[in-house]
Structure 1
Amino acid sequence: MKRLLAPATALLAIAAIALTGCSASAAGSGDDYPNRPINFSVGSEPGSGWDATARALVEVIEREDAVPVQVNVQNRPGAVGCVLLNDMINRHADADNEIAMTSVPLQSMELRGQCDVHYTDVTVIARLLIENFLVAVPADSEFQDLGALLDAIAADPQSVPIAASGDDQLPLALLVDAAGGNPSAINFIEFESGGEYLTALMNGDVVASVSGVTEYGAQIEAGELQGLAVLSEERLEAPLADIPTAVELGYDVTLNNWRGVYGPPNMPDYAVEYWQAKLQELLETPSWQEIADRNQWGTAYLAGDELQTFLDESYAQLQTALESVGAAG
């Protein structure tokens, strides 16, 4: 049974919120916006995909001298972004100087019953990119192909600990389901960041991990990890071109993650419009293209009505996928 989770361009993956902030009324009108530092929050630890994307954007802003005020990245981990979401809603409603990274957990945590925030409770500003999921193991792992890993999970799930949190669990759940196993029996070990995933892999605390390419690409290229499969429709580009797709291996599962930027509820229109235009401008710079190519990110900007359509379709498809593997709340 085909497990395709993507509305036209793709689906899935970073969330964030700010520690300080005033209301939009305190900041005045948008005539001279932005006129004070911007808090760019990330709902995870340093080293995560959300963190990498936020810091990449700030790097491009600084290279291009694109924003007239300081943009400060803040890490606000907790409950796969839910802590930050609630903070944005409860402490920063109406603010014009608070933005945050987001991705699929903005929708899926509510669908899982793990966060009471709906994606319409905040102001989603723009989608930036799409990133592919991959399944990785240490280079010297006993599991040298995806089939062997899935067979081991089917035979004795508890003996095969897998590092994956939140929506990073969904790709493997769909693969196990496609292989005839029981997704609800997978022994997932949850961590807050890709750095913790990597440490657990290298220490032998887990036997495999599922995450975005950003978090493991460098280690695979260096020969420390091995990619068993990517869940894209086509193979990645070099230096990761040797990793087969799940479809090639006989598992008709494609899944990817999207990342974007959101603001607080009732963010002033002038701030939303500023960041929509500024983010689109940044994604067209050579500085961004260099970073995107290095991380194998597929730039996929959306805003306005197109973004709303994407979010609504993604929400419905994500709900169907989570229900299919018994992960809906």
Structure 2
Amino acid sequence: MAGITAIAAAGPLDKTECIAPAKPGGGFDLTCKLAQAALMEGKYVSDPMRITYMPGGIGAVAYNAIVAQRPGESNTLVAFSGGSLLNLAQGKFGRYGENDVRWVAAVGADYGAVIVAENSPFKTMADYVAAAKADPTKVVFGAGGTVGSQDWMKAALTARIAGINPKSMRFVAFEGGGEAITALQGGHVQVYSGDASEAAEQIKAGAKIRVLAVMADKRLEGSLDKVPTAKELGFDIEWPIIRGFYVGPKVSDADYKVWADTFSKMMATPAYAKLRSERGLFPFSKTGADAASYVKSRVADYRKMAADFGLNVTPAK
């Protein structure tokens, strides 16, 4: 216990809090609970991390609260996702941008996936591309979320490789992945641009679907290890959906370093790998300056992509 006391005395690891910028039960909650379990299991904290919920704008309300009202709270982490970064790029977080917080760590990732029904005539990505090029009106894309959302962007990228203008693609927005997969199995949509972990879980639960490709830089571990990457098949699409944490802009360099170093040590352990995998996330670890650099380059990529697709974007702030 002496080690715990010594670390906790440093400040940021004492009476820790994780803000999940949504209602309980979603991806932000999962991200906070991963940190909560890993910090406690690794004995990096003496008391369990408190999780609080601050829904609104896929992270916008929490982002504004931390920057404007709680900028120096060194023991408060806020969960973020790839969706948060996409919204930042599109100016949906109001007057604040990617340079207004301190990005601590990326702790895992999911990846986009191109999914079809098990009985689909599209057995490969090449089949889908050929069909879409022959008659774009015959291919209807399904996605969770509306125009500009992560799923819409993945659908737009998938459509674009087949030569379909994303603005003219036939697209059906669903409330979430479950609805989209049901529509896929019912033949109401032909291609669903979902998430790899979601597809793996649905297949395990008996869904009659097939994954044509994953939008990762290399093949994934686990049940989808036989599925090729889009890049492998000659299609230049990557869509990592990272999950991680940031702190307020006025957290000191020393306290920021404590968090970054703690995550570095924690994520290098087999115990952490097990906890991450149990939550459906694939390996993706970046901390400190490396994490901040990655996040900012990702926001810049999203900004360019959104502009290419004719969506609203804001300049870097």
**Alignment check: 8 A CA contact 1:106 1:119 kept:** no
Instruction: Give the superposition deviation at 1:124.
Output: 1.3
Q: Is 263-272 or 273-282 further displaced after alignment?
A: 263-272
For residues 54-203 of structure 1, the aligned pairs below 5 Å read 54-116=32-94, 117-137=96-116, 139=118, 146=125, 151=131, 155-156=136-137, 160-164=141-145, 166-186=149-169, 187=171, 189=173, 191=175, 196-202=176-182
- Structure 1 residues 145 and 48 mapped into 2: Cα distance closer, same or farther (>3 Å)? farther
How far apart, CA to CA, are the structure 2 residues paired with 1:319 and 1:32? 38
How far apart, CA to CA, are the structure 1 residues paired with 2:218 and 2:167? 28
Q: Is 226-235 or 133-142 further displaced after alignment?
A: 133-142
**Alignment check: 8 A CA contact 2:88 2:299 kept:** no
TM-score by length of 1: 0.75
- Structure 1 residues 296 and 169 mapped into 2: Cα distance closer, same or farther (>3 Å)? same
Instruction: Give the superposition deviation at 1:283.
Output: 0.5
Amino acid in structure 1 at the alignment position of 2:257:
E
**Alignment check: 8 A CA contact 2:111 2:214 kept:** yes
For residues 222-301 of structure 1, the aligned pairs below 5 Å read 222-224=205-207, 225-293=209-277, 295=280, 297-301=282-286
How far apart, CA to CA, are the structure 2 residues paired with 1:214 and 1:45? 21
Residue 322 of structure 1 corresponds to: 306
Instruction: Give the superposition deviation at 1:180.
Output: 0.7
Q: What per-residue deviation string (whole Å, max 9, x for no partner) do you get for residues 6-52 of structure 1?
A: xxxxxxxxxxxxxxxxxxxxxxxx95525753221222445544333
SS of residue matched to 2:307? helix
Sequence identity of aligned pairs in percent? Answer: 21
Amino acid in structure 2 at the alignment position of 1:197:
G
Amino acid in structure 2 at the alignment position of 1:42:
A
SS of residue matched to 1:261? strand
Q: Pick from 293, 310, 317 the counterpart of residue 294 of structure 2.
A: 310
Q: What per-residue deviation string (whole Å, max 9, x for no partner) do you get for residues 138-172 of structure 1?
A: 55667665566665697348954422462333222
Q: What per-residue deviation string (whole Å, max 9, x for no partner) do you get for residues 226-262 of structure 1?
A: 3232112332233112323223444332232332210
TM-score by length of 2: 0.77
SS of residue matched to 1:254? coil
Instruction: Give the superposition deviation at 1:181.
Output: 0.7
Amino acid in structure 1 at the alignment position of 2:76:
E
What RMSD over aligned residues (CA atoms) do the two structures have, in Å?
A: 3.3
- Structure 1 residues 121 and 178 mapped into 2: Cα distance closer, same or farther (>3 Å)? same
Amino acid in structure 2 at the alignment position of 1:210:
S
**Alignment check: 8 A CA contact 2:141 2:155 kept:** no
Residue 4 of structure 2 corresponds to: none
- Structure 1 residues 267 and 318 mapped into 2: Cα distance closer, same or farther (>3 Å)? same
**Alignment check: 8 A CA contact 1:104 1:257 kept:** yes
Q: Is 256-265 or 126-135 further displaced after alignment?
A: 126-135
Gaps of at least 5 residues in structure 1 are 1-29
SS of residue matched to 1:125? strand
**Alignment check: 8 A CA contact 2:105 2:260 kept:** yes
How far apart, CA to CA, are the structure 1 residues paired with 2:71 and 2:246? 12
